[in-house]
Structure 1
């Protein structure tokens, strides 16, 4: 039941993107298991149409895709580095094809909303949604910047990058001086 609810949005996106279904059709009959601890695993089977369905109970996995906790929000935000952190086991070509399709699927919310509320209102709602996302992103960035400044200036909990680099240079110089001193002591001891 839960799998069917989770799969419906993906199939909706696939129906709107014929290129994605065509890319998945050669994988028909293959099953991929998605692991996102602590959530239950989600096993999907690719259908001949290129859409996906819940895997039948007991179906062996052709590929297992594991997402570490905290990776899903980065993937939803289209963070390119996050895709490199996905762990794959089994048929890697199949899993990478699914990831590639998922990475390039885009939801045209405005198009879907226009069916329900008309073109003009859908356009305005989509713009408001984008503005809200940008506002949240800017707010989070500003909050992080403020916290960083507070922790480096007001309540020094973190070191400033320049001070950290200076400290590292000083430690390196001290190590070099200690190595030179050890060589001189060894040379004097040898005499």
Structure 2
């Protein structure tokens, strides 16, 4: 781009970037000091079952809006064509199954996780541990890919090293999750949703005007 170096972030850009991470960390601190102060498993893992529908729905939505979707989906459709849209039907079917089958099954049982249900259902702790390990490995692989995309984009724009992005974002996410539990995770997701959708709207508007 004409007139821009690789390290094209201005002071204002760095302030915004730092502010997003700081606010995310502060949300974790707030919930570590408010309410039940994360002293019980129910409070830490389940938000004391007091979270409202809208922030939870936004949190679930944002969980699927990683850099893989924001950066990868447009590139996939641009280079390979629009057949990619067919995955939407699978997502719709999954959402319907979750709403009408899994949630009515799990919610009344007041369990902490689906792994607890697996142990109760099959009366085997080994099955529960196997499912847990498989999910941990799957999550590690997904998280690595999802973190690599924004780290690469940030390095391309600012020259900020990829390893530093991994470390910084990982530390902040771990911090607010550790301090504030599920409540912090949900409200950080809601905050980040505002940033994400606001940014996408700004880019679309600027592109349209130019």
- TM-score, normalised by the number of residues in structure 1: 0.27
- TM-score, normalised by the number of residues in structure 2: 0.25
Whose helix proportion is higher, 1 or 2?
2
RCO greater where, 1 or 2, for CA within 8 Å and sep 6 or more? 2
Whose strand proportion is higher, 1 or 2?
1
